[in-house]
Amino acid sequence: MNLYYRGWYYLLRAVAPTVAYMQVRGLHHVPKTGGCLLVSNHISLADPPCLMGYVPRHLHFMTKAEAFEQWPLSVLMPPGQPIKVHRGRADRQALRQAEAFLKQGEVVAIFAEGTRAKGGEAQEARAGVVYLAQRTGVPILPVAISGTERLFSKHFPWYHRGKVQLTFGPPFTLAELGEVTRNNRDMIAQRVMARVAELLPPAYRGVHEAPREQQLGTAEVGASTGTASDHGAG
């Protein structure tokens, strides 16, 4: 964590509890050293600042390319060398940059669904998270975010100080989810997202509402019937 990022870390750590009623659980699960892939759901523009203010590691966010060009997103861009991702295709350059950070012992933060869930409910994950974890062998840190979608509104009153929950689960590896092949990355990605969803309040679990064991059974049936597809590293 360089001096510039450290300054933002302490600033956001001080500001976050004044903007929201912060409830943080499982922070001890964050690895103190070594490469790590932080995987979270995404429901608000406030998600990155909340993570930055509580994760005591330098986070390299995988961020949509449009955010680098659009105001006010370009101004609100998280510091710390974010990774520009062109959505709608497998962005190999972004994946190589993320892979390099992970192999250097850094933490890459990825919103596995690839976009914000405007309704707040968890969506299906993209296969990019599996690609990176497979290429680097780093542990995956699941993080669940809830409540940030209620902080700001397009209508008056534009701001409401509500409760925000950050829940960190124990790190795990792809090996715990089963063998990864080119044809089942999507299925494994849903298993990764299920680890995040089980940390969420029930109302936020969306397509991952079923218990993990039931999801695994459904995914295996889908794989055996050939319904799983490989979209590459989305």
Most confident of 88-102, 159-173, 215-229: 159-173
CATH class of 3-224: alpha beta
Q: Are 9 and 56 in contact (CB under 8 A)?
A: yes
Instruction: Report which of residues 152 and 38 the model is more confident about.
Output: 38
Q: 201 phi and psi, to 5 degrees?
A: -60, 150
pTM of the model: 0.81
Starting at the earlier edge strand, list the strands of the sheet with 59-64.
21-25, 163-168, 140-146, 36-40, 107-111, 59-64, 83-85
The rounded percent of the chain whose pLDDT value lies above 90 is 41
Residues in the chain: 234
**pLDDT tens profile 166-206:** 999 999 999 898 888 888 888 999 999 999 999 998 888 87
Write down the pLDDT at residue 107: 95
**pLDDT tens profile 15-25:** 999 988 999 99
The pLDDT mean for the chain works out to 81
